[in-house]
Amino acid sequence: MPIEKAAEELGRIVPRGQDVEVLGSHFGGDRGPAEGPVWIREGGYLLFSDITNDRRMRWDPEGGFSVAQQGTNRHNGLTRDRQGRLIACEHDGRRVTRVEADGGITVVANQYRGWRLNRPNDAVVRSDGSIYFTDPDTFDVDSELDLFGVYKVSPDLSRINLLVRDFVLPNGLAFSPDESVLYVGDSRRGHVRAFGVEPNGRLALATDRVLCVLDGDGPGAPDGMKVDVEGNIYCTGPGGIYIIDPSGKHLGRILTGGEPPSNAAWGGDDWKTLFYTTRHSLGRIRLNIPGVPV
């Protein structure tokens, strides 16, 4: 049984006897994992990043796996804006981009106050169209910025604001269902922080708190993150996907085998399928509570 149960509440979330299903493997490679899954509901398929092989992959129930695009600047996190356009965090491009309806590329963000971004990792879009993203270390190239932060870009892309600058390695991020809280994982510190969100979209820094620490056994660290409609947080971490309630209580962990999970996405017609990526594979599990749609 791949569920490590820590609270009775988990029985409401994970169906009895439910197992994880590995859909495919051999992705990723030595330099980086499969990453950034996002469900395209109108097409009934999933997109995800194959970072090392510099391509965007597609999976659908009928046709299986195919290459959606070769040559992506080794993008990582993927999401969609309110018009359904794909938002991508490019490692090699060191920028956040948007794929337009005609296939053209619009730069969402590539610098802050004249300094080039480090290496954008993951992104989420607020209901007003603002785009939030994390920007950890460059790791393998010289950085112009002396900070690893969380940023907000205005809906018209005219303004970029640094919201938080004191992370060691900011990674996955997600809003609560009512967008009153932003959760951000710090992979180096092994925890998830929570910030109240002001009406203008800025973060209320006085509310900054460590929501939970992910310190279970197995390889991995806080990485990709999603939230269900009841406010429970699903964060990839050591050994699996941690399920945490809005108060920070650890409800349980979906075990994903020997490979550390890297990210997750809601999908399916009812948004009750949680897809997840690991270093080399794509998997899924059916749950009882639907996720917040993308």
Q: Tens digit of pLDDT for each residue in 36-57?
A: 999 999 999 999 999 999 999 9
293 assigned to some structural domain: no
Give 214 or 27, the one with higher predicted confidence: 214
pLDDT at 31: 61
291 assigned to some structural domain: no
CA angle 68, 73, 75 (to 5 degrees): 70
Report the CATH number at residue 140. 2.120.10.30
Q: For the chain, count helices (H), then strands (E).
A: 1, 27
> 256 lies in which domain range?
3-286
Q: pLDDT class for 1, splitting at 50, 70, 90? A: very low
Give 218 or 32, the one with higher predicted confidence: 218
157 assigned to some structural domain: yes
What is the tally of structural domains in the chain? 1
Q: Tens digit of pLDDT for each residue in 228-239?
A: 999 999 999 999
294 assigned to some structural domain: no
DSSP assignment letter at 292: P
Beta strand segments in 102-148, E: 105-109, 111-112, 115-116, 123-125, 131-135
Q: Tens digit of pLDDT for each residue in 157-191?
A: 999 999 999 999 999 999 999 999 999 999 999 99
